[in-house]
Structure 1
């Protein structure tokens, strides 16, 4: 399970304070800003996987995908 992934020059992680949120860093993890504020339909993130064109997120509500680096999420069919 991965709590943090690398996408190009960015790091994306599940927020350690609120696992419904994702954060990004563009300076190697020195500082973090919110990338995704969370959603009741997505649930709590448990795992992130970078598969190239998409990020997969395993959550308490199922498997979701993002095609915009974690800004928005849709259920993976």
Structure 2
């Protein structure tokens, strides 16, 4: 797992200073927030898993089916 993954034509990464998911559609030249800052958990790692993203967090494993816009406990 890592802090940046390729998923459905985008790069997604964890921004640790904002504790949010960011995306890039231009190979990382610019980044935009996809999820708001999480106050529930701290993102640690990301993994692409077919149609979903998996995130290891300070509160366990979460998944997203909408490119990291919302997260649900696995």
Could you state the TM-score of these two structures normalised by the residue count of structure 1?
Answer: 0.88
1:17-32 mapped onto 2 (5 Å cutoff): 17-18=17-18, 20-32=19-31
Q: Deviation above 3 Å: which 4+ runs of structure 1? A: none
Could you state the TM-score of these two structures normalised by the residue count of structure 2?
Answer: 0.91
Where in structure 2 are there 5+ consecutive unaligned residues?
Answer: none
Structure with a larger share of its residues in strand: 2
Q: What RMSD, in angstroms, separates the aligned Cα atoms of the two structures? A: 1.1
2:65 aligned to which of 60, 64, 67: 67
The structural deviation recorded for 1:16 is 4.2
Where in structure 1 are there 5+ consecutive unaligned residues?
Answer: none
